[in-house]
């Protein structure tokens, strides 16, 4: 369903034999980039958030929720785009089911629960599949990759001048990881992306 040549941020699939899968080499793992310059990491973070949005909303029929997301399962191609290389654990949700088959809370947005546990990945397939939209992909990207709450998050060591001039930046990183305001995690993620884009426009 997800094909690289149709613009999805996944590795090109060549074939499979039994449990052996052959994919293209798309780049170095995200872990290699954790100590690169902050603006470079901000550019990659924007594209990670765009990927979270694409997996959730791009298809008119389905949402794709990544349930084993980690820095080891993402590589960065030569254009600084993230490529998701391990899709063995994924929930595919059909969003357009008949009204009479919709669960009770189908039309509300599912919110993933934040937990205070390093490297613990928590989700409920039943809860995700009982709603037409879940914030799970934003939860995965923000809680387990971008946020400083996850050991040394990808957006660590924000330059002091950027923190001073873009005071909502750190707030939105934390809100996307663990919402505490009235904003949803998806809203916080989209606002975080816009702030990062503004930083890059202003400083490049």
Give tens-digit pLDDT for 56-90.
Answer: 999 999 999 999 899 999 999 999 999 999 888 89
% of the chain surpassing 90 pLDDT:
73
| 160: confidence class by pLDDT, cuts 50, 70, 90 | very high
pLDDT at 153: 92
Q: HSE (CB half, 13 Å, CA atoms) of 176? A: 34
Q: In the predicted model, is pLDDT for residue 18 greater than 90?
A: no
- Over range 188-196, report the average pLDDT: 97
Which helix (H) or strand (E) segment holds residue 83: the answer is: strand 82-84
139-143, 151-155, 185-189: segment of lowest average pLDDT:
151-155
122 compared with 63, residue with greater pLDDT: 63
Q: CATH number of 29-203: 1.10.287, 2.60.120, 1.10.510, 2.60.40?
A: 1.10.510
Q: In the predicted model, is pLDDT for residue 7 greater than 80?
A: yes
Where are the chain's structural domains?
Answer: 29-203
Would you call 94 exposed, middle or buried from its count of C-beta atoms within 10 A (0-12, 13-18, 19+)?
Answer: exposed
pLDDT at 120: 56
pLDDT at 122: 67
The Cα 46–Cα 24 span in angstroms is 24
pTM of the model: 0.92
The Cα 103–Cα 110 span in angstroms is 12
| 6: confidence class by pLDDT, cuts 50, 70, 90 | very high
Q: In the predicted model, is pLDDT for residue 48 greater than 90?
A: yes
Tell me if residue 193 falls in helix, strand or coil: helix
Which helix (H) or strand (E) segment holds residue 116: the answer is: none
15-24, 98-107, 128-137, 156-165: segment of lowest average pLDDT:
15-24
The Cα 150–Cα 145 span in angstroms is 7
% of the chain surpassing 70 pLDDT:
94
């Amino acid at each position: 369903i997800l094909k690289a040549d149709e613009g999805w941020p996944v590795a090109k699939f060549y074939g499979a034999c039994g449990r052996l899968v052959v994919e293209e080499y798309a780049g170095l793992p995200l872990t290699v980039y954790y100590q690169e310059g902050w603006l470079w990491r901000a550019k990659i973070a924007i594209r990670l958030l765009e990927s979270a949005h694409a997996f959730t909303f791009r298809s008119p029929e389905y949402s794709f929720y990544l349930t084993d997301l980690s820095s080891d399962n993402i590589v960065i191609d030569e254009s600084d785009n993230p490529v998701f290389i391990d899709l063995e654990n994924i929930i595919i949700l059909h969003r357009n089911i008949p009204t009479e088959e919709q669960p009770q809370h189908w039309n509300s947005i599912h919110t993933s629960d934040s937990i205070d546990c390093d490297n613990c990945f928590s989700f409920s397939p039943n809860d995700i599949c009982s709603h037409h939209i879940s914030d799970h992909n934003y939860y995965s990207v923000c809680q387990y990759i971008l946020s400083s709450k996850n050991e040394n998050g990808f957006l660590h060591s924000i330059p002091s001048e950027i923190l001073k001039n873009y005071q909502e930046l750190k707030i939105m990183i934390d809100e996307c990881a663990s919402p505490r305001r009235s904003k949803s995690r998806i809203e916080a993620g989209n606002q975080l992306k816009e702030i990062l884009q503004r930083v890059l426009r202003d400083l490049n």
